Amino acid sequence: MSSSANIPHRTISSIRGGAGSSKEGVPHTPARPHSSSIIGSPSGGRVEEDVIVIELGCRNVRVGFAGDYEPKRIITFDADSDKRVGDLRAWEAGYAEKWRERLAGRPWGFQHELFQLDCRGQDMALVGDKLERGLRDAFATHLLLDSTKPKKISLVLTPALPLPIISSVIDTIFIHFQAPSISLLSSPVATTFAAGIRSALVVDIGWHETTVTGIYEYREVNTMRSTRAGKMLLEETRNFLVDAIQPRTEATQGSIPTTNDVVDFEDCEEVATRMLWCKKAHRTPIQDTPLGLHTLHEQDENEGVDPTEDTTPTPIYLSSCSPPKTLQIPFSKLAEPCEATFFQTPYATATFDDEELPIHLLVYLVLLKLPMDVRAICMSRIIFTGGCSKVLGLRRRVFDELRLLVEERGWDPVQGRGVQAYRNNPKLKRNGGTKIRETPIPSIQTPEGSEDKDETPTLGDPSLAPAEEDPVNSAILKEKGYKPPVQGTLRVIDSMGPWIGASLATQLKISALAAVERDLWMQQGLNGASKPNEIDAQAQQTRMSRQSMGPGGLAKSQGNWTLGVWGAV
């Protein structure tokens, strides 16, 4: 018993404090290495990895993280987005009916646009303030980012965007969001990348204009544009509704009425989005004759009514009229705004200006100006994108009209009455037209008794003779499962859109068309950008490959820099 009493015991305070405690009786956590030194803190990893992708548009701005399948936020611009804090006029009695007073002296629908392509007289500072307000709300509410921390940004722009708008956007991002660098991506190239192909013909039916861009190996080969786009469609919809409300008399049939104060922008956009549709082509293109018998499809014996002859009244409620009313418009007439905006087929081609061509003619001219090998690839990969491409039946109508143009004209760039008279001249047909110098090919000696049917020599150019097929190469390609690319036929494919293409390209760390660094931009501004032909491409590529991709963004660099295709004026 005495031995057990002499056994030393640790006190409770020593057990809690530990054997190596500096102050006995004071509990504390043992020293250990900081976790951030091993694996890094979550905030630091996010700043290092996340890249923000911003797609700039006239009506919408899409914002999200690189690698996502859809944007986190789509910023729209309307009358409510311009309000200041504490502006409670929306709750006043009769505020909705005062839209005519707020529109007085201003363009129709100006509150729903971030910018206009005509920069004359436009307040660029207001454009930057609108963009800064929308991006700050998106970063804080939807992306959960701190606007004061640096973050890399990829900016998706449409072709030939005016330089003042580009300058205002880049200034806003560099000043208010502390971005170390901005990568510039082309919207048609990103759309092509999102479709999983390298070459395409991108038809972007946007808000201010429709652009048709030929992409070959991720390079813009040719671009043409037309003013027939969403804004013109809404103006035609407004005139269509005004004519239904106030029918024109014979005295005012040729005059242009003032229709800005009859129906507001919101009602016209609602009708254009939900009610309008597009007619079919006036003639069905000739289909390719398939091999074998046609497949028999089961069809309903009760044939439906032709939409062009459907006179069923469609009710359309307009709340902005004074007083509000419900129009009863036949369904067949709801296709008139689309017909007048995008086609106007009864008019001759010579009556249109270069910037107001119908869409199908614009697509045909872009294909006609492409080189033959590029055209063969692009015509089989036509992509329709943009907000107005979702109009019911529009894409099918443009594609059918394009096929009809190809059947009538072919790919001959020379058109006119003289060419048609030359082609239809019976004397030229009787004489065989222009004579081609023919060179005889020496006959090939074949063994006696040969049953070769092609032993008769042919006349013509030896370079036009078909090349012999290599059996070894054909066997290798067949073993590897090689399939030749589809080309030479008109075909439409789908794409997931420019934002998703830019998100995927940024996540894969693919080099952008141009990179603008904060330090150089703040020092030199827009005037410091050089034209692409003034920069050594090899030196520029070497410099970009040696830049670091650390948490602080791209490393500092000296020398010339460029805005890519947007700075080539």
Higher pLDDT among residues 183 and 103, named by residue: 183
CA angle 171, 176, 178 (to 5 degrees): 90
Give the CA radius of gyration of the chain.
33
Query: What residues contact residue 42 under an 8 Å CB cut-off, 6+ apart?
Result: none
Report the distance separating Cα 138 and Cα 144, nearest Å.
8
Report the distance separating Cα 157 and Cα 167, nearest Å.
12
pLDDT band, residue 303 (cuts 50/70/90): low
pLDDT band, residue 178 (cuts 50/70/90): confident
- Preceding amide of 324 cis, omega within 30: no
Which amino acid is located at 91 in the chain?
Answer: W
pLDDT band, residue 516 (cuts 50/70/90): very high
Let me know: does 73 contact 142? Beta carbons within 8 Å.
yes
Nearest CA to 313 out of 247, 259, 397, 244 is that of 244
Higher pLDDT among residues 505 and 10, named by residue: 505
Q: What pLDDT is attached to residue 308?
A: 75
Report the distance separating Cα 42 and Cα 406, nearest Å.
58
The domains of the chain are located at 52-77+112-194+497-546+557-566
Which amino acid is located at 139 in the chain?
Answer: F
Let me know: does 203 contact 218? Beta carbons within 8 Å.
no
385-422 b/e with 16+ CB inside 10 Å = b?
Answer: bbbbbebeebbebbbbbbbbbbeeeeeeeeeeeeeeee
Higher pLDDT among residues 436 and 565, named by residue: 565
Residue-by-residue DSSP string for 397-455: HHHHHHHHHHHHHTT-S--SHHHHHHHT-HHHHHTTSS-----BPPPPP--TT---TT-
Which amino acid is located at 30 in the chain?
Answer: P
User: 0.85 cut: is pTM over it?
Assistant: no
Average pLDDT over residues 417-438: 65
Q: Does domain 52-77+112-194+497-546+557-566 have CATH number 3.90.180.10?
A: no
Tokens 């992306």 identify what position?
143
Which DSSP letter does residue 305 get? P
- Preceding amide of 442 cis, omega within 30: no
Nearest CA to 137 out of 86, 187, 83, 190 is that of 83
What are the angstrom distances between the C-alpha of 66 and each of 44, 315, 555?
A: 17, 44, 20
